Amino acid sequence: MVANSTLAVRPATPRMETAARIVPPTGGGTPAARGGGGAALFKHPGIQYACGTMDASCSDEQLMLKYRDGDAAAFEILYLRHKGPLFRYLRRQCGNAATCEELFQDVWMKIIQARERYTVQAKFTTYLYHIAHNRLIDFYRRSSKGLPASYDQEPPDMDSLPADDGREPERQAHNEKTLEQLERLVDELPEAQREAFLMREQAGMSLDEIAEATGVNRETAKSRLRYAVAKLRQGMSRLS
Amino acid sequence: MKEKRENRHPVDLLPGEEALAGFYGRGHGEQPPAHLDEAILAAARREVRAGPRGRQRRKREWLLPTSLAASILLVTGVLLYLEFQPVETAEIVVASAPRPAPDGGGAQEVQQARATPSIVALAEAPAEEEPAGLSLPAKSRMAAPELARRAPEDADPARRTTTPPAYTGSPQAWLEEIQRLVDAGRLHDARRELDTLIARHPDFRPTELRELQERLVNVAPAP
């Protein structure tokens, strides 16, 4: 995609609202040589910590470092990238629109208020969803229902699911009704499994990132996601 | 599409997930309301503008404890200084100061010494004029500011002869000192001291005091 660039750009995620398209950087040399706020921090291999110009070639971490150093425009790009997936994740997880908006604002306010202390310890997406997950857990605990059992339990045995008929949901006619049915199926997933699925599909997070954001090990994250995928596929097959 | 998905999850794409995700992605464009966008972005800009203030706020958090620590240190230092410094000065001065002769023959020397408006004059004064109860060490322990404050008025010979410093020792020693003033012929000073003694210790009424009172009844107190 940007093979001629010396700056490794984070792969685009299909459902992230990028404010601008990925463009090759205008300058040459290494990211550190091109300068930028927080350029000295090279902690995570594979994450770029500096970008020379304020464009979409900046990784999330670069933008957050720029924001930490006082660049409000960097935050706007970051926000535009992540606001949709995060909002939909919270919307599906808490159900209530007003609560979702409150949680959504809380998460971003935490990011804003912590900006001066920000250092790159993980991918920004992981950092963002870790905050969102914790905020969501607080919300569950404060609610009358308490923390959903799916967070404390192992995912149900995969064998308990009815056999998949092998039909691909992708090949079904995509109409509004089918989408509604899928949304309903997602809503019916246990919270922990649904969370893993949404982090994966909305935020494009890897299993390791999901595990880190939700505070579980990789195997647990994988089990939750596998269960969610299997359940949805089975549901969609049945509906078709 | 497949290439994109594999870019996202090169290692851990689950079986069947790709098709489901491709399906799920369509039409799921729910966005936060515009007022939330505005509120969050405005807060972000505010935070940037308040950035230095935030740092100042953190500095201010340190200001109080630091100020307190510095104040305590300063006060401790001053107290220690006042505790030790005047003692050394006064003792050295006293050691080198001329002592009056027991018979009063050294009055001239004393007068010369008094004329010098300094701590030296003050340090030697107790041996000359002050009541016996006020010992040199007690006087020399006086704080330096107090010494400095008293030095000018004590250095004035005329004033010193008429207005000796108020006596702070025991009533009995004070009475004895008044008796000495009477013996030395300083009746006006004796009368004033007697009046002061009676005013401060109304219950202290020994025979000697009453005798002195009768003797000085017609003497006007020194101003």
C-alpha distances (whole Å) from B145 to each of B124, B140, B142 are 18, 12, 8
pLDDT at A8: 33
Cross-chain Cβ contact A88/B24 below 8 Å: no
Residues of chain A contacting residue B5, judged by C-beta atoms under 8 Å apart: 14
pLDDT at A230: 87
Both tokens of A156, joined, read 């149900």
pLDDT at A87: 93
Name residue, tokens 């649904």: A194
Torsion angle of the four alpha carbons B87, B91, B93, B98, in this order, in degrees rounded to the nearest 10: 150
- Tell me which of A91 and A52 has the higher pLDDT: A91
Cross-chain Cβ contact A236/B54 below 8 Å: no
Chain A nearest C-alpha distance from B69 (Å): 28
Q: How far apart are the first and last CA of chain A?
A: 37
Cross-chain Cβ contact A112/B47 below 8 Å: yes
- Its ipTM equals 0.71
Give the integer Cα–Cα distance in Å for A134 and A122: 16
Nearest CA in chain B to A228: B17
DSSP state of B141: T
The DSSP secondary structure of A179-229, one letter per residue, reads HHHHHHHHHHS-HHHHHHHHHHHHH---HHHHHHHHTS-HHHHHHHHHHHH
**Closest residue to A87, CB basis, from B14, B30, B45:** B30
pLDDT at A25: 32
pLDDT at A240: 63
Those of residues 43-82 in B touching chain A at CB distance below 8 A are 43-45, 47-48, 51, 54-55
Both tokens of B205, joined, read 């009424």
Whether the Cβ atoms of residue B94 and residue B66 lie closer than 8 Å to each other:
no
Q: Count Cβ–Cβ pairs < 8 Å, chain A vs chain B.
A: 121
Cross-chain Cβ contact B20/A71 below 8 Å: no
Cross-chain Cβ contact A105/B41 below 8 Å: no
Interface test with B, best of A201, A210, A219, A240 (most B CBs within 10 A): A201
pLDDT at A181: 80
Residues of chain A contacting residue B51, judged by C-beta atoms under 8 Å apart: 70, 116
Residue A224 has pLDDT above 70, yes or no: yes
Those of residues 153-192 in A touching chain B at CB distance below 8 A are 164, 168-172, 174, 176, 179, 182-183, 186
Cross-chain Cβ contact B21/A200 below 8 Å: yes
Binned at pLDDT 50, 70 and 90, residue A203 comes out as: confident
- Tell me which of A146 and A179 has the higher pLDDT: A146
Give the integer Cα–Cα distance in Å for A63 and B100: 88
pLDDT at A167: 54
Binned at pLDDT 50, 70 and 90, residue B51 comes out as: low
Binned at pLDDT 50, 70 and 90, residue B50 comes out as: confident
Question: B174-196: buried (b, 16+ CB within 10 Å) or exposed (e) per residue?
Answer: bbbbbbebbeeebbbbbbbbbee
pLDDT at B37: 94
Cross-chain Cβ contact A169/B19 below 8 Å: yes
Residue B161 has pLDDT above 60, yes or no: no
Q: What is the mean pLDDT of chain A?
A: 75
Percent of chain B with pLDDT over 90: 10
pLDDT at A64: 92
Residue B29 has pLDDT above 80, yes or no: no
Closest CA to B20 of A150, A91, A95, A197: A197
